[in-house]
Amino acid sequence: MQIHPQDQIVLDHVAARGDAIVARAVGWADINSGSRNAAGLDAVLDLLEAEARNLPAQVERIATQGSTTVGDDGAVQAVAHADALKITNRPDAPIQVILTGHYDTVFPTESGFQTVTTRADGALNGPGIADMKGGISVMLAALEAFETHPQRERVGWTVLLSPDEEIGSPASAPLLAELGAMGHVGMTYEPALADGTLAGARKGSGNFHLIVTGKAAHAGRAFDEGRNAVAGAAIIAAALHGLNGRREGVTVNVAKISGGGALNVVADNAVVRFNVRVPDAQSAAWVTDAVADIAATPPFDGLTLDLHGGMTRAPKPMDASQTALFEAVRQTGALLGQTIAWKPSGGVCEGNNLHAAGLPNIDTLGVLGGDIHSDQEFAWPASFVERAQLSALILCKLASGEIDGLKLKQLRLETM
């Protein structure tokens, strides 16, 4: 591969807009859009929609499905979610690229971490500046530039910006599955590591909530008449923790036990919340069965158990399609003087969903940064242009056929 004159025009388009690419991400990050902050999500969505309308594409808000949540008291409640934003151009082109990102963050409305500042070393420090409002700006910049390429008609693209990735994509998962099935190559904009390293193979993940119901009684006068749900939850938590080490690569993290009340009352309710991580589909089946067995048998008489949740993201191994795509991206990066490397990650993202639907994808094409999900989250300003140029050049190479999107898709289908 080489950088052709028409490619250079695209790259120059990105470079000329570097300050604006950074500035709009900072503006978005200054608005809180925690996954449960409906008003903040709507405000950011308005800005994203306005920005998207500068592209030669169809822009539409897509309603997401509702989900359920389990309260600390064991009550199951329906939850509504914000809309997703879908941007589509040339849906009948021979090569279809699916680009995804999320505009929610992990920071709730009451978080003390609300605005972007510049550190002494020049890094931007702010909520979502790396994960992933910076990535969304990079994505849009790449598409804006690619639309100047003379071979753009060979590539159609669809963008999905979702409101719920940070809570496991319960509302947008069907949309991701639908797009993953129709595309040839996927590009997702989670941040890379600070040195530019990409996430390669990813584990799968599941979130579970086990409701334990007992019987309340006075702890002094009628202790024997009660059935302590918190005690049962503790026994169950120990059993879940005991699954660790029984199968290579499988981890079970008991994150929280809630329930109970006054010290003189036998607790009649508790909820055990836990996450599992698995390296492959066989391990996912194993841990799912093991969890079901634990949830099927109360630790003592008088308790009832009600399991909610399950595997939310399938594992994403480095199969033949992923290996070929990563190599193509490595070669593309080399043309720009960027060293592209990758390593396995225990983290999960929309890339897991897309791969499960049959789409080979790179899911860490966002900015270079780190310390995400903390008030130390940062992004390097220079990486905005660098990463937008990488994505833009990938699109150029898909259009020219130097990256064979049809072959990548076929490789993925052969492993399903």
Cα gap 322→338, rounded to integer Å: 19
Calculate the dihedral angle through the C-alpha atoms of 174, 178, 181, 186, rounding to the nearest 10 degrees.
Answer: -90
Do the bridges between strand 304-313 and strand 265-266 make them parallel or antiparallel, or are there none, so unpaired? unpaired
Instruction: List, as one string, the DSSP characters of 343-393.
Output: EEES---HHHHHHHTT--EE-B-S-BEE-TTSTT-EE-THHHHHHHHHHHH
Give me the tens of pLDDT residue by residue for the chain, a chain 416 residues long.
899 999 999 999 999 999 999 999 999 999 999 999 999 999 999 999 999 999 999 999 999 988 888 999 889 989 899 999 999 999 999 999 999 999 999 999 999 999 999 999 999 999 999 999 999 999 999 999 999 999 999 999 999 999 999 999 999 999 999 999 999 999 999 999 878 899 999 999 999 999 999 999 999 999 999 999 999 999 999 999 999 999 999 999 999 999 999 999 999 999 999 999 999 999 999 999 999 999 999 999 999 999 999 999 999 999 999 999 999 999 999 999 999 999 998 889 999 999 999 999 999 999 999 999 999 999 999 999 999 999 999 999 999 999 999 999 999 999 88
Give phi and psi for 142, each to the nearest 5: -65, -40
Instruction: Look at residue 358 in the predicted model and tell me its pLDDT.
Output: 97
Given a contact cutoff of 8 angstroms between Cβ atoms, the answer to whether 312 and 164 are in contact is: no
Which amino acid belongs to residue 290?
A: A
Residue ranges of the chain that CATH labels 3.30.70.360: 204-313
What superfamily does domain 5-66+81-201+316-414 belong to in CATH? Zn peptidases (3.40.630.10)
Instruction: Look at residue 249 in the predicted model and tell me its pLDDT.
Output: 95
Cα gap 241→326, rounded to integer Å: 36
Instruction: Look at residue 1 in the predicted model and tell me its pLDDT.
Output: 86
Instruction: Look at residue 194 in the predicted model and tell me its pLDDT.
Output: 79
Do the bridges between strand 198-202 and strand 342-345 make them parallel or antiparallel, or are there none, so unpaired? parallel
Instruction: List, as one string, the DSSP characters of 198-229.
Output: EEEEE-EEEEEEEEEE-B-EETTTSGGG-B-H
The one-character DSSP state at 105 is B
3-state SS class at 99: strand
30: Cβ contacts below 8 Å, ≥ 6 apart: 114, 115, 116, 126
User: Token pair for residue 258?
Assistant: 């809630």
Q: What ranges in 184-319 are assigned the alpha helix state H?
A: 229-241, 281-296
Instruction: Look at residue 327 in the predicted model and tell me its pLDDT.
Output: 97
Instruction: Look at residue 67 in the predicted model and tell me its pLDDT.
Output: 87
3-state SS class at 100: strand
Cα gap 4→220, rounded to integer Å: 82
Instruction: Look at residue 302 in the predicted model and tell me its pLDDT.
Output: 96
Given a contact cutoff of 8 angstroms between Cβ atoms, the answer to whether 300 and 352 are in contact is: no
359: Cβ contacts below 8 Å, ≥ 6 apart: 98, 179, 180, 181, 183, 184, 185, 186, 409, 412
Q: Give the CATH number of domain 204-313.
A: 3.30.70.360
255: Cβ contacts below 8 Å, ≥ 6 apart: 273, 274, 275
Cα gap 151→120, rounded to integer Å: 43
Measured in residues, the chain has a length of 416
Residue ranges of the chain that CATH labels 3.40.630.10: 5-66+81-201+316-414
Cα gap 190→387, rounded to integer Å: 12
